[in-house]
């Protein structure tokens, strides 16, 4: 049986082709990993910004109702601060589609927060509309803002811890 000799240029070509193939696989894998990390970072950034805006609203509303001086951030509604409603929308959206990127623990925290805020809004609306244009209404609004802050703060801390672990 005659020996088949493989030309050296063919061996070099095949080696280069294999190296390029495996190099591209590694590059694609790295790109996907970086893209997923970037998308997770953006999702956490949106959630944390929304929670912070809701805390700001709660603090400003409480202080306004109690006639306590504030930082004056309530006057920048048209600025970069999302409104309470917009922030709630970000949280609601993240609970629906965020499970594609964020861990189950974070989604569970956000769903529980959504439920608690819904219950608190329902409770506050009943109380606030029972005493229209009175001191009691102002007190009910202040209590509502205080309750919202108490609901958000522990979840904000928990989500920050999850984000550090997830992105670290």
DSSP 85-104: HHHHHHHHHHHHHGGGTS-H
* Predicted TM-score (pTM) of this structure: 0.79
Evaluate whether residue 41 is within a structural domain: yes
How many other C-beta atoms can be found within 10 angstroms of the C-beta atom of residue 109? 20
Cα–Cα distance between 114 and 154 in angstroms, integer?
14
Evaluate whether residue 142 is within a structural domain: yes
How many domains are contained in the chain? 1
Evaluate whether residue 117 is within a structural domain: yes
Q: Which domain holds residue 128?
A: 35-167
Evaluate whether residue 29 is within a structural domain: no
Evaluate whether residue 19 is within a structural domain: no
Evaluate whether residue 11 is within a structural domain: no
Furthest C-alpha separation in the chain: 106
Give residue for tokens 């990993």: 33
Evaluate whether residue 18 is within a structural domain: no
- Which tens digit of pLDDT belongs to each residue from 101-151? 999 999 999 999 999 999 999 988 877 677 777 888 888 889 999 999 999
User: H/E element holding 16?
Assistant: helix 8-65
Evaluate whether residue 66 is within a structural domain: yes
């Amino acid at each position: 049986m005659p020996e088949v000799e493989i030309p050296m240029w063919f061996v070099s070509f095949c080696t280069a082709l294999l190296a390029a193939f495996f190099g591209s696989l590694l590059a694609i894998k790295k790109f996907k990993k970086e893209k997923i990390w970037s998308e997770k970072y953006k999702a956490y950034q949106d959630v944390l910004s929304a929670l912070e805006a809701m805390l700001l609203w709660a603090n400003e509303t409480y202080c306004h109702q109690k006639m306590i001086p504030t930082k004056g951030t309530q006057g920048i509604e048209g600025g970069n601060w999302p409104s309470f409603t917009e922030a709630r929308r970000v949280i609601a959206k993240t609970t629906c589609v965020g499970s594609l990127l964020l861990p189950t623990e974070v989604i569970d925290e956000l769903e529980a927060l959504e439920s608690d805020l819904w219950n608190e809004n329902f409770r506050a609306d009943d109380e606030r509309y029972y005493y229209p244009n009175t001191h009691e209404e102002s007190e009910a609004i202040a209590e509502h803002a205080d309750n919202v802050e108490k609901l958000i703060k522990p979840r904000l801390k928990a989500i920050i811890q999850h984000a550090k672990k997830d992105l670290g």
